Amino acid sequence: MYLECTVAISDEQFRLGVLAGGVALVVGISVVRFCGSVSIPEKPAPTYATGTQTQALSKSAASPAVYLEYLQKDAAAAGVRTPSIEDMGRKLAYRVDEARHVLEVGQPAIEIAGVRLELFHEGSAMVLEIRNTTESDLAYSVITQPTPNISECNSATPLSFNAIVVGKGKTERRVECVWREDMALAITRVESLEVSPISAWMLGLVPPAAIGLDQRTSRGHRGVIANETCASVVSQAVRSGLEKGQIGWRDLIDFYARHRCPTYRFPLTYRAFKSDGEQEIPVVENGG
């Protein structure tokens, strides 16, 4: 037995009820969609390394074990064997010629400080050919001055070349200036350091400006193509040291032949090794 209850409503009341329910549904959806009832979390603020974190990274890089890990990684990228830390601490054979030499097109080549230098006229450019005469890869610096000295040298189209290392048995060719019939090239200083294959690769990461090379003779530089990059300009402190003669090309090359430039910064007190194992590798600023 059950009771049946009925409530009679008119058609007009039914239509009004349906309409009111529809309006309520639309308002509810709108509130959810536009009024933020479902909140979206705020975008987190960017984080930056604190001084403490930077110091920690520096101390980590100062560890011989971390240095060796980087060395293994770079050796694999270069396709060469991984040297030991002791190997990386050996003195590098150094040569220097500070005499002034004048080269002219058509003149026989000269051999000084581990390189053979010859001057050519090609199209509208004066080109210096630099050949490695040693039995290893060679970091080199050839300081020149076109004579007469003219202001249009940089208008000559540069050749693509390695401005820092000339490989074993290889030749690099660089544009010195636009060509004039009466021009010659004064060689004022030549330096070179014999380097290992891994050091040659590491030096390929270094921008010419970071070791004090001038823009005229390094415009066409091509180095190693890698995911990591180095600082593209020399620091003010290093620039000042170079200008005052307190830091030399040899010091900078010697450091970057042993330390990858994306990770290690040149310490202002660093000087090229004069003997094997002169300092513990890696050498870091202020002891890390």
Q: Is pLDDT larger for residue 185 or for residue 30? A: 185
**Omega before 148 cis (within 30°)?**
yes
Report domain extents, the chain. 63-287
The pLDDT of residue 61 is 86
The pLDDT of residue 231 is 78
In tens, the pLDDT along 2-34 reads 444 444 455 555 454 545 555 454 445 444 444
The pLDDT of residue 286 is 67
Average pLDDT over the chain reads 84
**CB atoms inside a 10 Å sphere around CB 19:** 10
147 DSSP β-pair partners: 184
Tokens of 24: 């309520």
3-class SS letters over 178-232: ECCCCCEEEEEEEEEEEECHHHHHHHCCCCHHHHCCCHHHHCCECCCCCCCCCCC
Q: Within 13 Å and on the Cβ side, how many CA atoms surround 29?
A: 5
Contact predicate 123/182, CB 8 Å: no
| H or E, element range at 81 | none
pTM of the entire predicted model: 0.79
The pLDDT of residue 17 is 54
* Positive/negative CA dihedral, 253, 254, 259, 264: negative
In tens, the pLDDT along 131-172 reads 999 999 999 999 999 999 888 899 999 999 999 999 999 999
The pLDDT of residue 22 is 53
Q: Which residues contact 263 (CB under 8 A, 6 or more apart)?
A: 61, 70
Task: Give the CA distances from residue 52 to residues 48, 57, 235, 244, in Å, rounded to whole numbers and listed in that order.
Answer: 11, 9, 23, 33
Q: Where are the alpha helices (DSSP H) in the chain?
A: 11-34, 51-61, 64-78, 85-88, 197-203, 215-218, 236-243, 249-256
In tens, the pLDDT along 59-117 reads 688 999 999 999 999 999 999 999 999 999 999 999 999 999 999 999 999 999 999 99
Q: Is residue 258's pLDDT more than 70? A: yes
| H or E, element range at 283 | none
Please give the single-letter amino acid code of residue 265: R
DSSP state of 161: B
Q: Is residue 178's pLDDT more than 70? A: yes
Q: Is residue 56's pLDDT more than 70? A: no
